[in-house]
Structure 1
């Protein structure tokens, strides 16, 4: 027999899923039909969840939904895990590639590094943590915007001045969108002397429990060394990016 905790989690999962699918006003009757549950039993489960602050009930219309505080707490947990489990992912990526690795997030039309790890003997001067860089030419801008449609990307960059930072910097939004299309096809971005001369990077998007891109894992180094290792670095970044996604989603992984 399913436990009351299990029933409650099923209800929360169903409400979150249906909300993500665009179902705005879920009644007990509609939810019972969707879950193939007895309406009276489901109503008692929802009542208990509402008392504990997990479900929000509205009288007009008679709507149900996950309480907003669950989203806030989940986002706080995601931010915490990005910094803790993100460092673990970067350490593994550095060990595998021997290159400097970073974790970046999108803030407006810029990217900001929130974690970094560099290999022994790195000549990096200072830290990139907390330093914003234009998304249109940063090491991870394309990866962070890869799930957004072209209209959303154009809106993000609408007021951005496309200043030349390297020999291959995008010249305008249309140029950026053409490069973004290739990133979407590959599943990872390649930034080749767009951020600065001689700099090369590979970045992969990292998605959270909502399947939304919240960060990007980057492998960064000199073009003369990294260009010929693109696929190798991309495979490693994709692997460690998936590990970080599992951590954000609470998925347990075995060793290896």
Structure 2
């Protein structure tokens, strides 16, 4: 009879450990700092001494670290592993969601990330009826006029955006491309108010797209999900496609562990 009791005890301890780790993650997102034993106990509605023992055990095993302020935070290896998982799931779950979206809207869908002052496509789903030739995966395009540019910079403040485009030439090939960083910022602010970005002949003549940000477990923007096609086919469907794009981006964000939006 002793073995089942020990197993149950181990499972119970493991469960408490995961609860505490989850609480530290949530508190870190809220405060951006380490959390005290009292804060974790209050967050979980648990006894302080029990939480203190759990945190001490996690500290000994290298899962959390104790700061000089006596608060606790997750060890860096958790973030490194979570980042690796995020990279994988962006591609796996991202492809699934893009395939569903492309089928639903009948247009090409892409997932792009920011690399310096460029955006790079990492996943794409192109329906059979699309006229697109070749693949965009791995190809870079200036973020100031790309389909993903506004969405990947969704949470950046004005100074951060200016830093990204410090050496940008703003000579986009499209007839409606922004001609300065201030022009780009005005379009970005309008996109935030709208809830999704519109890129109207900024990358090239006749090309139109909507995009929305994708967030990870830290609630940080890590990618942009886009619906791209000919302006003549997409313009009159802007609101419909924008909402579908945003909903798909939220589904992918949830798959990456992003907290639910309020």
Going from structure 1 to structure 2, the CA distance change for 1:117 and 1:241 (only over 3 Å counts) comes to same
- Partner in structure 2 of residue 148 of structure 1: 156
Give the drift of 1:69: 0.5
Give the drift of 1:147: 1.5
CA offsets per residue over residues 11-34 of structure 1, 9 Å max, x none?
Answer: 222322333334535443554466
Where does structure 1 lack aligned partners over 5 or more consecutive residues? Answer: 252-256
- Partner in structure 2 of residue 195 of structure 1: 203
Give the drift of 1:250: 8.4
Going from structure 1 to structure 2, the CA distance change for 1:240 and 1:6 (only over 3 Å counts) comes to same
- Contact kept, 8 Å, 1:110 with 1:133, in 2: the verdict is yes
- Partner in structure 1 of residue 166 of structure 2: 158
Equivalent residue for 1:96, pick from 104, 109, 127? 104
In 2, the alpha carbon distance for the partners of 1:90 and 1:33 equals: 40
SS in 2 for 1:21: helix
Equivalent residue for 2:62, pick from 49, 53, 61? 53
SS in 2 for 1:158: coil
1:222 aligns with 2:230: yes
Give the drift of 1:151: 1.9
Please, what is the CA RMSD of the aligned residues?
Answer: 2.1
- Partner in structure 1 of residue 128 of structure 2: 120
- Contact kept, 8 Å, 1:198 with 1:222, in 2: the verdict is yes
- Contact kept, 8 Å, 2:216 with 2:258, in 1: the verdict is no
CA offsets per residue over residues 76-115 of structure 1, 9 Å max, x none?
Answer: 1111000001000110111011111111011111100000
Going from structure 1 to structure 2, the CA distance change for 1:33 and 1:246 (only over 3 Å counts) comes to closer
SS in 2 for 1:205: strand
Equivalent residue for 2:70, pick from 49, 58, 62? 62
Going from structure 1 to structure 2, the CA distance change for 1:205 and 1:49 (only over 3 Å counts) comes to same
- Partner in structure 1 of residue 37 of structure 2: 28
- Contact kept, 8 Å, 1:96 with 1:236, in 2: the verdict is no
| Deviating more after overlay: 151-160 vs 168-177 | 151-160
1:38-49 correspondence runs (5 A): 38-49=47-58
Where does structure 2 lack aligned partners over 5 or more consecutive residues? Answer: 1-10
Give the drift of 1:155: 1.8
- Partner in structure 2 of residue 79 of structure 1: 87
Give the drift of 1:126: 1.4
SS in 1 for 2:222: strand
- Partner in structure 1 of residue 28 of structure 2: 19
Aligned length: 249
In 2, the alpha carbon distance for the partners of 1:145 and 1:70 equals: 25
Give the drift of 1:159: 2.1
In 1, the alpha carbon distance for the partners of 2:78 and 2:245 equals: 30
In 2, the alpha carbon distance for the partners of 1:120 and 1:179 equals: 32
- Partner in structure 1 of residue 175 of structure 2: 167
1:107 aligns with 2:115: yes
| Deviating more after overlay: 37-46 vs 64-73 | 37-46
Give the drift of 1:35: 4.9
1:248 aligns with 2:225: no
In 2, the alpha carbon distance for the partners of 1:244 and 1:19 equals: 22
- Partner in structure 2 of residue 254 of structure 1: none
Going from structure 1 to structure 2, the CA distance change for 1:250 and 1:26 (only over 3 Å counts) comes to closer
SS in 2 for 1:106: strand
- Partner in structure 2 of residue 233 of structure 1: 241
